[in-house]
Amino acid sequence: MENLEALTFALVALFSFMLWRVLYSCWVLPIRAYRKLAINGFNGPPPSFPLGNTIEMKKTMTTESSSSSSSLTVSNDIHSRAFPYFAQWQKSYGKVFMYWLGTEPFLYIADPEFLKKISSGVMGKSWGKPTVFKKDRKPMFGDGLVMVEGDDWAMAGMMMETTTSMLDRWTKLINSGNPEIDIEREIISTAGEIIAKTSFGMDFENGRTVFKKLRAMQETLFKYNRYVGVPFSKYLCLGHNLEAKRLGKEIDALLLSIIVDRKKSMAQNGCSKDGKNLLDVLLEDNHVERQKARKLSTSELVDECKTFFFGGHETTALAITWSLLMLAEHPMWQHELREEIKQVIGDGDIDATMVAGLKKMGWVMSEVLRLYPTAPNVQRQARGDIRVDEDTVVPDGTNIWIDVVSMHHDQEFWGEDVNEFKPESFKDDVHGGCKHKMGYLPFGFGGRMCVGRNLSALEYKIVLSLILTKFSFSLSPNYTHLPSIMLSLRPRQGLPLIMKPL
Ligand code: HEM
Ligand SMILES: *[C@@H]1O[C@H](CO)[C@@H](O)[C@H](O)[C@H]1NC(C)=O
Ligand SMILES: *[C@@H]1O[C@H](CO)[C@@H](O)[C@H](O)[C@H]1NC(C)=O
């Protein structure tokens, strides 16, 4: 009898404790964060428990995507299409407000001046990435955070080789009577091959496999992404989540086998003959005994690889894709770039040093990344209170979501013709004529800015030069203009172009 009572008591205590834990993390902590933000004058759409503003976001998403699916003209005014809920909330709450993903409050920022104040209030390293995103996207990104400086990889040759084989495939397709080619798919798979080879020394087969899986995982995660921050969403969307986990494990296993192989061959032969790739640099870095820096574990190495694999290839491939859309719409710029290529490169092979000479192509890249920022948002988390001005503090732990698409399309900073394609505005100004220095952020900002920007420019220019020399192109009537967010900014139904050999 006594034993039973003791057991009951223990169970009740345990249950109460668990209930308290759940309430504390799903209710008390968020409300505390909410109060702090509200005291500092941030308001926003009223949340409901436990979904936050997720329902409203989903609703806006579906009405928006069903309403304008027959958009025949290509409009570069894409903000309300890419982030319909933010576009709507901006009308009521301005360019800085608070919204909720489940029980996690987020500070939304689309005002460069506010961003400037907040980043000058941040000392050195008090920025983090939101932990909710980290947790949620773990199968995709793992904990991979990167710092590797661009070593001098001999990559241009390999990029040319891979691109040329894609173009040969196109020529065959065209000769067999199919001038319409889905450029998005082609470019993404070629860029994937490039990064698989340059960064990891993978062969074609392995590269393909990792890509197919990453892509499937991205789609799975995207479907269930809308419940980020909702307590127990892991269990709500069990199917999706398990699927993502399974794919994640398979990718890890594959990368792991590649890392182990590479380690072995490094141990046997020292540095490989075919040049160093990113993985070698990571492994070598690991080899060198440094005082402070901790050695990366193998699973951390796998995570690093995933970050590069994903962050590197798709953003660049999509920059090329959107550029081909803009160039198809503006044949005059196709012509300008062909002339520049003739002058700078002539008929020979492209090498890495020539690429810097392709100035106009650089402007086109910058302008395309303004209108179609392939990394459409940047995230931060406050580590420590951040003072913005006299009476505003962004409290410790606040998740921050910066809307790059909105800032790049803001009339206030770019003028009336903000939605027109004007590469020449980058001629003498790295900010493209934006009235605010923090208004143009295709690669992020501050100490966490993209480390791959030079590499992406190299790849962009090589691939685009080769395409422009071999083909002229125009938009297929089959194209539907649906820029949408799947982590990166993508044309939802691909990019069919009509290609003509030159
Ligand atoms: C047009 C192409 C690209 C775009 C638009 C882009 C954009 C970005 C952005 C917006 C960030 C976040 C910066 C921030 O938080 O302030 C980022 C980070 C990063 N990017 Fe890129 N990127 C591109 C190409 C590449 C390439 C080619 C690589 C590598 C091969 C790469 C590797 C990385 C890495 C390692 C990070 C840091 C991740 C972290 O610290 O969590 N990116 N990139
Ligand atoms: C558009 O798509 C249809 C169906 O896939 C195809 O038959 C047609 O040839 C395409 N149009 C052009 C101009 O390629
Ligand atoms: C990119 O190249 C420029 C000039 O060539 C250099 O100053 C800069 O440090 C490089 N940036 C990165 C992230 O490698």
**DSSP letter at 296?**
P
> Could you tell me if residue 15 is inside a domain?
no
Known binding residues: 450
Nearest residue CA, atom 8 of ligand 3?
A: 454
> Between 378 and 282, whose confidence is greater?
378
Half-sphere exposure of 122 (CA within 13 A, CB side): 25
Residue 193 reports pLDDT greater than 90: no
Higher pLDDT, 360 or 200: 360
Instruction: Determine the distance separating the centroid of ligand 3 and the alpha carbon of 356, expressed in angstroms.
Output: 12
89 lies in a domain?
A: yes
Going by pLDDT thresholds of 50, 70 and 90, the confidence category of residue 154 is low
CATH number at residue 343: 1.10.630.10
Helices marked H in 40-107 — which ranges? 54-67, 79-82, 84-93
Ligand 1 pocket at CB < 6 A: 145-146, 307-308, 311-312, 315-316, 319, 369, 374-375, 378, 442-445, 448-452, 455-456
Range of weakest confidence among 45-59, 220-234, 351-365: 220-234
Residue 262's domain spans which residues? 43-56+64-501
Distance, in Å, from the CA atom of 403 to the CA atom of 86, rounded to the nearest integer, reads 9
Q: What is the mean pLDDT of the chain?
A: 81
Q: Would 323 be classed as within a structural domain?
A: yes
Pick out the residues of the known binding site for heme. Answer: 450
User: 312 CA distance to ligand 1 centroid (A)?
Assistant: 6
**Does ligand 3 have an atom closer than 6 angstroms to the CB of 150?**
yes
* 120 domain-assigned: yes
Ligand nearest to the CA of 352: 3
Count the domains in the chain: 1
| Probe target for ligand 3 pocket from 151, 454, 456, with the most ligand atoms within 8 Å of CB | 454
In this structure, the residue with its CA closest to atom 3 of ligand 2 is 478
Task: Specify the higher pLDDT residue, 453 or 196.
Answer: 453
% pLDDT > 90, the chain: 40
Cα–ligand 3 centroid distance for 468 (angstroms): 26
Is 70 part of any domain? yes
Asked if the structure places residue 462 within a domain, the reply is: yes
User: Which residue has the least CA distance to atom 19 on ligand 1?
Assistant: 450
Query: Would 457 be classed as within a structural domain?
Result: yes
Give the atom of ligand 3 at the shortest distance from the alpha carbon of 451.
13
Which residues pair with residue 285 across a beta bridge?
Answer: none
How high is the pLDDT of residue 236? Answer: 54
Strand, coil or helix: 485? strand
Is the residue at 397 inside a domain? yes
Which residue's CA is minimally distant from atom 14 of ligand 2?
A: 180
Per mean pLDDT, which of 114-128, 130-144, 216-230, 325-339 is the most reliable?
Answer: 325-339
The 10s digit of each residue's pLDDT in 208-251 is 777 777 777 767 666 655 555 555 555 555 666 677 777 778 77
Contact 249, 256 (CB under 8 A): no
Query: Phi and psi for 108 in degrees, rounded to 5?
Result: -90, 130
